[in-house]
Chain A
Amino acid sequence: MFPTPAKRDGVLPGFRLGLGYTLTYLTLLVLIPLGGMILMTGKLSWNNFWEIATAERALASYRVTFGASLFAATVNAVFGLIVAWVLVRYPFPGKRFVDALVDLPFALPTAVAGITLATLYAENGWVGQFLAKFGIKVAFTPLGIVVALIFVTLPFVVRTLQPVIEDIEAEVEEAAASLGATRWQTFVRVLLPGIFPAWLTGFTLAFSRAIGEFGSVIFIAGNMPLISEITPLLIISKLEQYDLLGATALAVVMLVISFVMLLVINLLQWWAANRHAKGSDAEPAEALAPAALVEARP
């Protein structure tokens, strides 16, 4: 499964060194530990594994994790589109500041986000007391998990959409307008299809990050088994009870989900890059690479 160099000539040095170091480091730090985890599940029989993976508490934790992640990713998809659109298209004072601020969730440690959101949305918090008047409880309920996940995954949709919206050619919109489309028709029929793959990619990235998130969630979730306990927390509580095999089984379930998400994201990006190429008889770009390298290097 290791890559083997197909082309080693050319004058640039350092290919063996670079690739060798990369593969060694990747193997030691990522592949062996992940492989070790899979090996550890081998100590469980299939029935045991299935029992742990489908126990009532585990199933409930999947529901909470997936439900909250889906909810949060959807909220971010909607508002992320609006934010990205506004940031690209409309001038307003302090725009550069706001643009930089969007990355805050990447820069702010999750534990800080967790305790702050828990305090804000507690029944006596700034936002919580306001919501309490309407009988909405956020902190220490599944809704709190959603709030934390919205915060943590907020940049994904915005950041994947921004460059794509910037790249829309003004001429396309002008053409639609000159053909008699209203602004809304232009948006729905011309612009939205163009940015859809990026939108979906942003949504999937947010969703994938939300599933694994731990630090920001545990402070606000209340962590009640069957109700507001996420899978990563269940893994930790098994670990604290010295149930390493139980923790490993659940971790493998999460790892498989991660792999699937990674695959989906790669497929989405491939689709976004290639969907306009289909129908033409162009060969895949990679097959053309050698010749292109020789004669047509930019």
Chain B
Amino acid sequence: MTVRRATAEPRWVRLLLTGVALGFLFLFLVLPLIAVFWEAFAQGAQTYWEALKDSEARSAMLLTLTIAAVVLPFNIAFGVAAAWAIAKFEFRGKSLLTTLIDLPFAVSPVVAGLIFIILFGAQGFFGSWLAANDIKIIFALPGMVLATLFVTFPFVARELIPLMQAQGRDEEEAAISLGASGWQMFWRVTVPNIKWGLMYGVILANARAMGEFGAVSVVSGHIRGETNTLPLHVEILYNEYNQIGAFAAATVLAFLGLVTLVAKTVVEWRMRKETEMLTADLPPEKTELPPTVATERP
């Protein structure tokens, strides 16, 4: 029998806690994940494929991809700009700005959709003007993009601010003192340093953009084949008791979620490896006398 370390729990406690933790995670995470695929394939692969090939399902997928493709560049530009200003400079009101950037996370998705109805909806502030000029925002793509922009607003910035703060300003200052222009500094020094953090933020923002339900639901109008994103399509089929169709569409989203998890884990692993490399103990110092210039150069 081995002697237990002073700071370890008894074996039965460890087994019990591990069992409880894994049981909890199984019940709430693994079981639902299995159930999605199980329900989708309940009547065989044939039915599953047919549900996916449905034209409405395909236009929903296309719309979801379109929204994500429009939203992500905005998120990246904003995230980098905000993180640059906040992480590399001192100014008054910085903590207020940081809090405001987090605000969309605290707002309910339904409220996030509603605010755009209030601005651009038929009864909203700009409603009559928009109608007079025949511009559609609500119940159309622009409204869904706006709502998605709102709910994904903080992701990239939140990821980059602490990263860029930790990296400090030295490398950028070194680049400038070596004669680099602002853009050269940005593309050659800043971007390579933040690429993994940026990617991490983009992965999270993308998952949210493609999966958003509440905010988009409020502004979409649920016009089939036109303003139905994939999550909204799932809802419609489910409410029509089309279990197979709903879960078939859901598997696409679940697959997307799994890809997100894998990508996230890979990026996390890369980031950890990079910080480990930076903080690792230095290689042993060479003890031989550093070369003298005089003796080495004839």
Classify A-B as touching or not with yes or no (CB < 8 A). yes
A232 and B214 contacting across the interface, CB-CB below 8 Å: yes
CA distance A108 to B260 in the complex (A): 9
Interface stretch of the complex, out of A50-58, A85-93, A133-141: A85-93
List chain A residues, Cβ under 8 A from B260.
107
List chain A residues, Cβ under 8 A from B27.
127
CA distance A151 to B35 in the complex (A): 14
B93 interface residue per 8 A CB criterion? yes
B264 interface residue per 8 A CB criterion? yes
List chain B residues, Cβ under 8 A from A105.
29
CA distance A233 to B9 in the complex (A): 46
B257 and A3 contacting across the interface, CB-CB below 8 Å: no
A17 and B81 contacting across the interface, CB-CB below 8 Å: yes
B131 interface residue per 8 A CB criterion? no
B258 interface residue per 8 A CB criterion? yes
CA distance A298 to B278 in the complex (A): 14
B191 interface residue per 8 A CB criterion? no
List chain B residues, Cβ under 8 A from A232.
108-111, 214
B18 and A90 contacting across the interface, CB-CB below 8 Å: yes
Cβ-closest chain A residue relative to B125: A36
Interface string of A41-65 (1 = CB under 8 A from B): 0000000000000000000000000
Name the contact of B90 in the complex, choosing from A106, A127, A247, A289 (C-beta under 8 A).
Answer: A289
CA distance A236 to B18 in the complex (A): 42
> What are 22 contact pairs spanning A and B, CB under 8 A?
A4-B93, A15-B85, A19-B85, A26-B97, A26-B101, A39-B125, A82-B24, A92-B22, A100-B265, A101-B30, A104-B261, A109-B230, A111-B232, A111-B250, A112-B36, A113-B32, A115-B238, A119-B39, A177-B6, A239-B218, A242-B123, A244-B124
A21 and B231 contacting across the interface, CB-CB below 8 Å: no
Interface stretch of the complex, out of A195-203, A209-217, A273-281: A209-217
Interface stretch of the complex, out of B51-59, B146-154, B282-290: B146-154
CA distance A251 to B213 in the complex (A): 17
Interface string of A176-190 (1 = CB under 8 A from B): 011000010010000
CA distance A39 to B77 in the complex (A): 30
How many residues of chain A are within 8 Å of chain B by beta carbon? 102
A30 and B257 contacting across the interface, CB-CB below 8 Å: no
B231 and A215 contacting across the interface, CB-CB below 8 Å: yes
Seed contacts A29-B149, A258-B108; 4 additional CB < 8 Å A-B pairs: A21-B78, A109-B212, A214-B110, A266-B99
B32 and A151 contacting across the interface, CB-CB below 8 Å: yes
A22 interface residue per 8 A CB criterion? yes
B117 CB, nearest partner CB in chain A, Å: 7
Residues facing B in A190-233 (CB within 8 A) are 208, 211-215, 219, 232-233
B89 interface residue per 8 A CB criterion? yes
Interface string of B12-54 (1 = CB under 8 A from A): 0110011011101101111111011001000000000000000
Interface string of B107-120 (1 = CB under 8 A from A): 11111001111110
CA distance A22 to B118 in the complex (A): 24
List chain B residues, Cβ under 8 A from A36.
115, 118-119, 124-125
CA distance A238 to B161 in the complex (A): 39
A296 interface residue per 8 A CB criterion? no
A272 interface residue per 8 A CB criterion? no
Interface string of A128-151 (1 = CB under 8 A from B): 000000000000000000000011
B114 and A37 contacting across the interface, CB-CB below 8 Å: yes
B100 interface residue per 8 A CB criterion? yes
Answer whether A254 and B108 are a contact pair too, CB < 8 Å, given A25-B78, A109-B210.
yes
List chain B residues, Cβ under 8 A from A248.
114, 118
The 6 closest A-B pairs by CB, nearest first: A3-B93, A109-B211, A212-B108, A215-B213, A214-B214, A18-B85
List chain A residues, Cβ under 8 A from B20.
79, 82
Answer whether A11 and B28 are a contact pair too, CB < 8 Å, given A22-B97, A36-B115.
no
B159 interface residue per 8 A CB criterion? no
Interface string of B244-283 (1 = CB under 8 A from A): 0011001001101110111011000000000000000000
B254 and A112 contacting across the interface, CB-CB below 8 Å: yes
CA distance A175 to B146 in the complex (A): 55
A30 and B150 contacting across the interface, CB-CB below 8 Å: yes
List chain B residues, Cβ under 8 A from A113.
32
List chain A residues, Cβ under 8 A from B9.
183
